[in-house]
A and B are shown apart, each in its own frame.
Chain A
Amino acid sequence: MNKIFARTWLITVYLFLYLPIITLVIYSFNDSPLVSIWSQASLRWYRALVNDSALIASVALSFKIALMVGLLSVFFGTFTAFVLSKYKRFYGRTFFFSMSTTPLVMPDVIVGLSLLLMLVSLQHWLGFPERGLLTILLGHALLGTAYAAVVVGARLKEMDVRLDEAAMDLGCKPRQVFRLITFPLIMPSLISAFLLTFTLSFDDVVLASFLSGPGYSTLPMVIFSRARLGLNPSINAVAAVTIAVVSLTVIVSSIYHARTQRKRNHEIAMRYSDGSQ
């Protein structure tokens, strides 16, 4: 009885989480221009997608921004995490820590508004930057830095300090310790931070709407403006393509992960058998 109840609860919640995703995919193959009424299967909306130049341009822009956001966020996020985990006392540490967590707790509308007002006064004094790619990039990179700092910080916390100490005892300079010991050890967290911040940027509509200028519409901005006007079957096709890309990436990365894990286990086993001889 208890087991049945537990199973029903789990399955119902999973259905709730996946119901919208599944309907999006199914109805993307619907021929009718009315989103919710099924007529017959067709690839009509996918064909429309290929000719939708506004949408394709927005995908290209979003991709470009997300790629740069990933790199910038990992760069500044690693610095932030490193400073917070290695330096326990410096002037204004609490202030630094609160600034680094602010983007995580503040609603996007506030972050967007504050950045826009800052950029407007900057433009007033210096004459640049024009609103567009660069300003969206800055906003997303701020959000990304905060998230990347959490991901990399968690890994740095787990790291054995004795490895650093051993390297320094053996004559490594701090820079060498970072390059030869810390960096390879935190590499997996850098990759996950990159993927996370890439997705954040690719998904954001609020910050982009505040910071973008004329002629710079990201993919979420295009989807949002169409969804606001009403239901639109071309959005379903976009969704289905995104879901296909994401599932493929997840499957490939989990196969890759499993394979490297197996390889590593194999290597460890080999080393042990070498040692015993």
Chain B
Amino acid sequence: MSARGFEIADRLLAQAAKMGAEARVVVREHAMGHVRFAASELTTAGDFDTTTASIAIAFGNKHASAETNQTTDDALAALAARTATLARAAPEDPEYLAPLGPTRYPRNARAWDEASAALDPTARARAAREAIALADSRAIVIAGFVQSHRTETTIATSAGLRADHRATWSQMTATARTADGTGSGWSGANATSASEIRGAEIARDACDRAERSRAPRKIDPGRYTVVLEPSCVASLLAHYVEAADARAADQGRSYFSSHRVGDAIFDPRVVLRSDPLDPETPGCPFDDEGVALDPTTWIESGAPKNLYSSRFWARKSGRNATGSRSTWHLSSTSAAPDANALVAQIKRGLVVTRFWYVRWLDPKQILLTGLTRDGVFLIEDGKVTHAVNNFRFNDSPLKMFQRLVGMTQQTWRTPAEDTIYRAPIVACDDFEMSSGSDAI
């Protein structure tokens, strides 16, 4: 339990109480350490430790929020006063809902690793050095980033809600480029415990991919069966969950306006769930409004089962508020034993390591554009044969759910900031690579 977090929250709530305001306070004590390497040497390293206090204040339906990282009595009083001034001046918001009252949440000790909380800079430097040494030994140029975080979150409201959660996470990513500039590979890992981040292993995987991707052959754009590595799957998934919004669906401005919850529109094997207590995606059991993040199934039995609903929209539309989620776990009810088993099913296709610069084209179709990078490999007659050029794609995450060839049993926690995506390798048909890219 974060005594300091509650102490700060209580000081702010006391300020709000004096004004006769409703209030919600979130205190986040965050420490981060990092080391960056590029051109096969360490470049920058640093750390910081800061406590952020944010308060949302309401007078009736008029509300505002503000945040500071200064926690002296004067600073917190100034924060409350500034927020109250803004709230009083704000127009009425008919969508405002009062803060939540006392709520019980499960504690999630799995999100914290005591040893990792020390944020030891020598451990980060060691991981980076291991990566550089391995790349040097193979005459490959390597760049990467090692980061470790410790966060303690406290939430309290004027209605009596009090909760806290603490988490650690570490991440390393590395991009290896062959000295002749014709090959590039990437690898990365994300974990609650820093001890699971192994610099040499990540560097070896990136270097292997760089060498295998060397001197890619040029092939035409077109529609391909693709085997998407977990990082690709996570980037598509992030856009799917952004689109799966109940308000937009009900207002007629979403793919889900014409494809309703419960419609059998997906492959029956696809399962997408969020559960902060899932040991493979350990997360915070509440969101910043205090909504309990109960286990939720988003896709199952061939149909979307739920859409994100804010507290306001849930009340208006007769749904349950889902809360804002930060853990996602994609899996299959009938999975392939490994990636080779997926590749073996494919006559002609592509293995894609990573997507880059994925952006919206059309929300109605959940249509995106983006590019491949750091290794694309041709599949011919069930085998990976050689590296090919990069592509731009214009397609949709829906392809993973509607034209599914298969998913692997194993899933991986993919590198991401503040959100846990656990994803398998996914193979799907008919993915549109719309133009070629000369990038290596």
Determine if chain A interacts with chain B.
no
